[in-house]
Amino acid sequence: MQNPFVYGEVVPGESFVDREVELDRLIGDLAAGQKVFLISPRRYGKSSLIRQALNALSRRGVLTLDITVSSYSSYLSFLEGYARALAAVETRSERARGWLTKVIQSTRPEVRYDSGAAGPGRFSVAFPLVRNERDVNRLANEVFTLPGRLAAEQKRSMVVALDEFQAIDGFNGGSVEHALRAAAQQQRQVGYVFAGSEPSLMEKMIGPRRPFYKAGPVMRLQKIPADVFAAFIESKFGRSGIRAEVGLGAAIVDLAGNLPYDVQRLAHETWDDVRSAGGRRATLDALHTTLARLLAEQEPIFEAVWQRLTLAQRAVFRAVVLENGHGLLSADVRARYRLGGPSSIQTSLSALLKQDLVLKEGNQYVVVDSLLREWIARRTF
């Protein structure tokens, strides 16, 4: 039997749960050449949703491209990676080299194709003559037109997914946004999805006085309904040959904070433990045994996180966990956890948000890692 739960990577179709409405909307908008902004906290399944949409569009004959912006250490390396991915759409290396040389006029691209000993080879694209900011900006204006050129030459629609899009803010600020918006708005045959997992930064990027203001529809990914997720979990257990105790799915979803990544992780690890023990039934006791194991394994990491926090931040963090992120500024909560004044609490919350330990959902603060939340609840005072 194979474990039916996947985490830590893009979830394949058979492990993808719900999101039918969001998926249909995303596919429809991208097929129509829209420039879509997908905003989601981390661990909500944003990248898996994008991959499902791209796969569906590819089956329709649409050219697709998926780039994770945060993978690149500089603006120039991002432009090289973007150009490389576009050139790789043309599988014949000589044609790809000739195409890039023809369309990039501001500098001479260095294009190589390294054939792999096992499996397909890969393109390598570099712009060694680009040495200063002015050169980079000129190059960017050309690179950002490439999707439109490629779609026109191949007479096919195209979709470009730029995941972790908020990372461009660290490259060259507003000039990247201006250049990309100017190129994308001219490309009616190219759909774009600009996806980000830092909601506050993404909201600023699409706000007034920014280049992407009103550039396209905005999708804000919400949590999967808990009852739907719970039913999916129990169904997956059953189909894999391990029967789930009634209520197991709901317990997993609750312990994992209904975060798709954490739900899949806890279900995956529970399935593994039951299978390794030779069991055929996943019980609530088995779930809590797995949870205890995971907390013990993560103890050194969580302890290091805790030690990095100031005393004030630790107190606020515990309050977020034990009060479920509500009423942190109330007199009762402040007295119960010795939090100090409202301004001190706000300072600590800002630090926890910046360190990606908590996120804000409406008026509630939520711990990003459900295992860390459980560790704090059980091991700190």
- Residue 2, pLDDT score: 87
More confident residue, 341 or 88: 341
For residue range 298-326, list pLDDT tens digits in order: 999 999 999 999 999 999 999 999 999 99
How many beta carbons lie within 10 A of that of residue 53, not counting itself? 28
Domain ranges of the chain: 19-220, 224-299, 309-381
Q: Which two tokens stand for residue 129?
A: 């003559």
Question: Which has the minimum average pLDDT: 107-121, 134-148, 364-378?
Answer: 107-121
Query: If we measure between CA atoms, which residue out of 355, 285, 291, 358 comes closest to residue 318?
Result: 358
More confident call, 7 vs 113: 7
Over range 141-169, report the average pLDDT. Answer: 93
At residue 285, the pLDDT reads 97
Q: Is the pLDDT of residue 119 over 70?
A: no
pLDDT of the residue at 94: 61
- Looking at residue 343, its pLDDT comes to 96
Question: Rounded mean pLDDT of the chain?
Answer: 90
362 vs 83, higher pLDDT: 83
pLDDT at 161: 97
Share of the chain above pLDDT 70, in %: 95
Q: Does domain 309-381 have CATH number 2.60.40?
A: no
Closest CA to 43 of 269, 367, 379, 341: 367
Say yes or no to pLDDT of 117 above 50: no
Q: What is the CA radius of gyration of the chain?
A: 24
Of residues 274 and 117, more confidently modeled: 274
Q: What is the dihedral of CA 320, 321, 322, 325, to 10 degrees?
A: 40
Mean pLDDT of 360-374: 92
Q: Which CATH class is domain 19-220?
A: alpha beta
The two tokens of residue 116 are 């792999």
Fold classification of 224-299 is Helicase, Ruva Protein; domain 3 (1.10.8)
Query: pTM of the full predicted structure?
Result: 0.84
